[in-house]
Amino acid sequence: MALASTIHHGGDDGIVDDLDTVRGVVRWLQQQSESLAAEGLATGDLVADEELRDGIIGVRRAVRALFARVVSPAAPSPADAHRLMPADEALAHLNAAAAREPVAPQLDWPAEGAPAARLLSAE
């Protein structure tokens, strides 16, 4: 949800894209560092460059296209309605991005709680 929200309508100023520069990506990753760390992902080793930015933007475009599919037939967000990728392409893009990440399933079962599974980066 946080990634999808990085492009939004900025009122009278038009569209705001928080990831429009590499610096914006770095800022956003820093803001998300606690959430990412909880999932076993460290941002400290990432090299923020245009390639990383392009990859993140691609995932965001795919997520927003699928969100638009969920709300259909209502209109998608005006922030990027004119450039949404087709839903089948969005799904393929997300699946391809997910397949690039080696993961290891982890089971957590606290003594006084219910078991929970999550995927951690195997790197």
Give me the mean pLDDT over the 34-52 stretch. 83
Give the 3-state secondary structure percentages of the chain, helix then strand then coil, rounded to 5. 50, 15, 35
| Separation of alpha carbons 36 and 121, rounded Å | 11
pLDDT in tens, 79-99: 777 889 998 999 999 989 888
Give me the mean pLDDT over the 63-85 stretch. 85
Question: Any residues with CB less than 8 A from the CB of 88 and at least 6 apart, and which?
Answer: none
| Separation of alpha carbons 45 and 102, rounded Å | 16
Q: Which pLDDT score, from 0 to 100, does residue 116 have?
A: 85
Look at 46 and 28; give whichever has higher pLDDT: 28
User: Are 92 and 29 in contact, with CB atoms under 8 Å apart?
Assistant: no
Show me where the domains of the chain are located. 4-121
